[in-house]
Structure 1
């Protein structure tokens, strides 16, 4: 099994500890884990040039950073996004990377493999609930076609890994084991969700319309995949 992990921060704090604990329960010795740390492994800021939409993702100014990450995601069975809770949201580094992935949304040129994956979003906060952060990251994966995304938020009551209480560490480990078990079961039985199929058919109709001619790159992608006809990405 292949797992892609994208860390929305460079430091190895509580959120990183949560992810590593999940991986301890989730991954087997022969599994391949590809980790990317932002901002080091990520692209510069998206400048909104629309090149990925209109010309192709390979022409993006940050393609040399973006494409290795998206390729790893598309080849993995499991995708994990983690980010500390920064002002009730994902880190700016993570949001910037998601901006670069917009061309892979179902509205544009989704990759067929994404409809058969499982995602996991992870976030910690010293006090304020990080639930919005995990939901926000999960939304990004779902719009890329990932049918099931689990969420692992944790209020740590600590500023860093050195000040977390033993009680919280026990809670972290217990929750990590539980969520890892769910992710593993789903990864062993991948399937598209009803909501994902509805979204696909909605945008298939859009791409079949004469109005889709405004972006030939997207329309040609849907035609090339056979999706305008009888081929479906989850089969």
Structure 2
């Protein structure tokens, strides 16, 4: 997950696209996805055929830009916030504050309790 890119896209008939996007983007961050871009727009229509042509053209332009950002070469870099959060969870596992012994065994088997890091694989 630490080398992936994600796009969160939402359309709504009215307001609320940003709230839907926010929850999904936050979940992706906690999963370790370092590159998350979002796009939300209110289309004021019940189906795609009812959307105005001007709005469709805007959506097409915006999604094309978003696709270009996602397809640019190079692996995304893990930011400092993710690394700090990972180290907090790692220290909790080492101290025995994890959710279960199975989880601690998984962290140990992956080498994350030692020097190995998931974004360096």
When normalised by structure 2's length, the TM-score is 0.92
Contact 1:122 1:153 in 2 (8 A): yes
Is the CA contact 1:222–1:228 (under 8 Å) kept in the aligned structure 2? yes
Find out whether 1:200 has 2:86 as its counterpart: yes
Matching residue of 1:138: 25
The equivalent residue for 1:233 is 118
Number of residue equivalences: 120
SS of 1:150's partner is strand
Q: Cα offset for 1:135?
A: 1.2
TM-score by length of 1: 0.49
Contact 1:121 1:152 in 2 (8 A): yes
CA contact (8 A) 1:148 1:193 kept: no
Offset, 1:153: 0.4
Which residue number in structure 1 is paired with residue 38 of structure 2?
151
- Deviations for 1:138-174, whole angstroms, at most 9, x for unmatched residues? 1111111111211010111211111010001111101
2:51 to 158, 164, 173: 164
Which consecutive residues of structure 2, in runs of 5 or more, have no partner in the other structure? none
Contact 2:3 2:75 in 1 (8 A): no
Counterparts of 1:117 and 1:211, CA distance in 2:
28
The correspondence of residues 18-167 of structure 1 with structure 2, limited to 5 A, is: 114-167=1-54
C-alpha separation in 2, matches of 1:115 and 1:142:
10
Alpha-carbon RMSD: 1.3
Give the gaps of 5 or more residues in structure 1: 1-113
Which SS does the other structure have where 2:97 is aligned? helix
Residue 218 (1) aligns with residue 108 (2): no
CA–CA separation in structure 1 for the residues paired with 2:54 and 2:9: 19
Deviation at 1:197, TM superposition (A): 0.8
SS in 1 for 2:2: helix
Q: Which runs of 4+ in 1 moved over 3 A?
A: none
Find the counterpart in structure 1 of residue 71 from structure 2.
Answer: 184
- Contact 1:131–1:153 (CA<8 Å) still a contact in 2? yes
